[in-house]
Structure 1
Amino acid sequence: MPIKFEVGDVVELKKQHPCGNHHFEILRTGADFRIKCVKCEKQLWLARPEIERRTKKIHPKNEGNE
């Protein structure tokens, strides 16, 4: 069963971005995801299986993100 992601959630990924950050905001969901690095604001496109495999933790948008 797929993990429930919503636009606006911040996910912590296992591998860090070249800028040194692990946190990414979800901008678009579906078969492909568009995510944005919280630190440098670089946007990436990743497939759903790739996001699900790399996700370490999900910070919901209503929880008060970093």
Structure 2
Amino acid sequence: MYDLGDIVEMKKQHPCGVNRWEIVRMGADIKIKCTGCGHIVMLSRREFEKKLKKVLEKKTQTD
């Protein structure tokens, strides 16, 4: 699935021309940040899962 810090692709492209988003907060709502312009969007988990296309990069685990 997806986790905090992952880079995801949504079904619709952001107006800045980039379709890569970083997950910056998770809970009942999910906050994502555009990697192009830095715009932050908060979506309900249900809406996020509906609009999610795929996970592009998983956050690397560093212990």
Tell me the TM-score normalized by structure 1: 0.82
Unmatched 5+ stretches in structure 1: none
Segments of 5+ residues of structure 2 without an aligned counterpart are none
Which structure is richer in relative contact order (CA contacts within 8 A, separation 6 or more)? Answer: 2
TM-superposition CA deviations, 1:10-63 (whole Å, max 9, x none): 11001011101111000001110111000001111111011101111112112x
The RMSD of aligned alpha carbons is 1.0
Alignment of 1:47-66 (within 5 A): 47-58=44-55, 59-62=57-60
Identity of aligned residues (%): 47
Runs of at least 4 residues off by over 4 Å: none
- Matched positions, count: 59
Kindly indicate which of the two structures has a greater share of residues assigned to helix. 1
